[in-house]
A = this chain, B = another copy of it.
Amino acid sequence: MFKFPEHQVAGHLALGGKLGPQIDESGRFCKPLQEDERGSREVAFYEALYSTSKVKKQILRFFPVFYGTHITEASDGSGLHPHLVLQDVVSDYLKPCIMDIKIGSRTWYPQASEDYVAKCLRKDRGTTSLSLGFRISGLQIYRGKKSGYWKPDRKQIQKFTADDVRSVLRKFVSSNQLGDSDCKPDSPPACYIYGGFSGIFQQLLELKSWFEDQTDFHFNSCSILLIYDGESEKNGGNPQSTIKLIDFAHVFDGNNVIDHNFLGGLSSLIKFISEASATQLSKPKWLDAPAA
């Protein structure tokens, strides 16, 4: 009934007998609740998000649908465990191309202990978080039937420089135009993925407008998923470009202050994507490099 979510690109994985998320056939994503305050904070966030009339439908679509909590068998065989029941945000995609981007130059929260701050600060300085205001945490890009997905491993991703990030953001939307030779000619044109009326760029701008105003939540260490379908001919060529916010274990009350840390990082990501869109038709470097 439950299975391992093969398109998960970051976070705890339910592999090798470990505790992690599972999906079912009906499009549900079951995420084990962390037993400490992180679990209760994430539930509290989803409940607040749906119970407050402050968050409009137009913004709610940027979050996975929340179906409540449910006690079910844990993936590690340890028995019953409480899970968040969420929408599996990629269940409708044939070949989901996904990027998980952790937003904010600071991933720690102001109330955290000195040790926790030091640990996060080290990671923020060691990745692009501090310099760019965001870091890529995981990704997969569909390159066609022959090559399948490009899914670099965590260690490789953690070492990404600013230039790697630029290159990967270009690759993300260039793969279908410039992938291997079996690539269908009617696969989604790059301009529809980032650009266009309903593309990722426009969605990020909508999200940014909300962050310029909302003072209810501070999204520490939260990610934005960029998703589109790498094989979209069955949808009439619509790549279903979408963004989703995920991971709310460190969301705190905004105390009537905007989330300037998230907004700054999001604005930086938007600038990077506008530049990637402008240069996306140039030949991506990964065509020259051996596959990872």
Contact = CB atoms under 8 A, between A and B. Distances in A.
A271 B215 contact: yes
A130 interface: yes
Interface stretch (A10-18, A33-41, A243-251, A260-268): A260-268
Contacts of A130: 110
Contacts of A105: 106, 260-261
A261 B260 CA distance: 8
Interface string A120-155: 000001000011110000000000000000000000
Contacts of A255: 131, 162
Q: What is the interface of chain A mostly: helix, strand, loop, or mixed?
A: helix
Contacts of A133: 257-258, 260-261
Contact of A131 (B131, B257, B263): B257
B267 A263 contact: yes
A212 interface: yes
A133 B211 CA distance: 14
Given A264-B263, A267-B263, A257 B132 contact: yes
A206 interface: no
Number of copies: 2
B263 A258 contact: no
A261 B263 CA distance: 9
Chain A interface residue bracket vs B: 20 to 34
Interface string A195-210: 0000000000000000
Given A130-B110, A162-B255, A257-B132, A212 B263 contact: no
A106 B264 CA distance: 12
A162 B260 CA distance: 14
A213 interface: yes
A260 B265 CA distance: 6
A132 B260 CA distance: 8
18 contacts: A105-B106, A105-B261, A106-B106, A110-B130, A110-B131, A131-B255, A133-B257, A162-B255, A212-B271, A215-B271, A257-B268, A260-B264, A260-B268, A261-B264, A263-B263, A263-B264, A263-B267, A264-B265
Interface of A: 105-106, 110, 125, 130-133, 162, 212-213, 215, 255-258, 260-261, 263-265, 267-268, 271
